[in-house]
Amino acid sequence: LNCVRKHCERLKGGRLARLVGAGDEGRAAARIRSVGAPRSDAHARSRVLALVVSDVLGDPLDVISSGPLAPDPTTYADAIGVLERRATAGHVPSVVAHLRAGVRGEHDETPKPGDAAFDGVVSTIISSNQTAAIAARDTLLDLGFRVKVVCRVEGEAGAIGRGLVGDAIAESAAADASFAVVYAGETTVDVGDATGLGGRNQELALAAGIELEGLAHLGARVCVATLATDGIDGPTDTAGAVVDSHTGALARERGVDLGGALARHDSHAALGALGLLVRTGPSGTNVNDAAIAMVYLSVPRS
């Protein structure tokens, strides 16, 4: 939907770069002329430094916040196509009318790659899902783990949770050492008609906890922690959860049906009943999610 937003708002899709450049050029040119100096476009246009916090995997500048300072490769026609493919065009007639007017040339297109509006723009990613993963890696190394980092992880939360457990156990066995695997990215949950409460990080943790119970015969000590970096996982007050090799036994002791909870997508209630939820409060910054599986062959440094 970023394509649609870019063609409906004044600042998105590179329009901010155009506005800043045009406005500063005019003011700078006026100042230059006022002191009798010749006009110079090179000096008249402003320089813009964009410090970007990315919540989009891969950090594409034209997608983050719908790219206010980045060239836009999409068109009004592309935006109409997005709405038609999603069968939502009939629900937003005023938006469709605006986009069709743009196709007819009644509204300016967003600035494209090569537009002079971007000549003075420098964009730098200062924080992202990858930087969060690197920070987690460095902390785990300090704790004595060997570490593997996998970025741009996407897919169904339950499947990713099970895969994370298997990945960590396999890496630890191959290295014959305490090992941690960091999955950084953003998973999804297809809730269908389910009425349970949770979020993708809680669901990933719940699936991992069930997987760990099935691998208890291996005797490995494993802990999985999941986290929404903004501190808000789904429609809950929870950032994520922590499960380990004993979660299954704890659930049986307290009469909590983990499998049933996963089927109902009710991870919040199940993990809450076991005291395994992580509440950080809103962090104020969203750089997607992280999940960490730690396999202990010895007691790590604290």
Q: What is the pLDDT of residue 88?
A: 86
Same domain, 14 and 60: yes
Q: What is the pLDDT of residue 171?
A: 97
Q: Of 70, 98, 127, which residue is a domain's last? A: 127
Q: What is the pLDDT of residue 47?
A: 87
Same domain, 62 and 162: no
In a domain? residue 302:
no
In a domain? residue 301:
no
Same domain, 135 and 107: no
Same domain, 102 and 154: no
Same domain, 150 and 92: no
In a domain? residue 252:
yes
In a domain? residue 246:
yes
166 in helix, strand or coil? helix
In a domain? residue 220:
yes
Same domain, 29 and 162: no
Q: What is the pLDDT of residue 298?
A: 65
Q: Of 68, 101, 127, which residue is a domain's last? A: 127
Q: What is the pLDDT of residue 297?
A: 84
Residues of the chain with pLDDT under 50: 22-40, 42-43
Among candidate residues 4, 261, 229, 232, the one with its CA nearest the CA of residue 243: 261
Containing domain of residue 106, as a range? 2-127
Asked if 100 contacts 80 with a C-beta cutoff of 8 angstroms, the reply is yes
Asked if 229 contacts 132 with a C-beta cutoff of 8 angstroms, the reply is yes
Q: Of 99, 127, 155, which residue is a domain's last? A: 127
In a domain? residue 242:
yes
Same domain, 209 and 84: no
Q: Is 59 left (phi over 0), alpha (psi -120 to 50) or beta?
A: left
In a domain? residue 185:
yes
CATH classification of the domain holding 286? 3.40.1480.10
Same domain, 66 and 203: no
Query: How many domains does the structure of the chain reveal?
Result: 2
CATH classification of the domain holding 24? 3.40.50.10180
Same domain, 120 and 164: no
Question: Torsion angle of alpha carbons 272, 273, 274, 275, nearest 10°?
Answer: 50
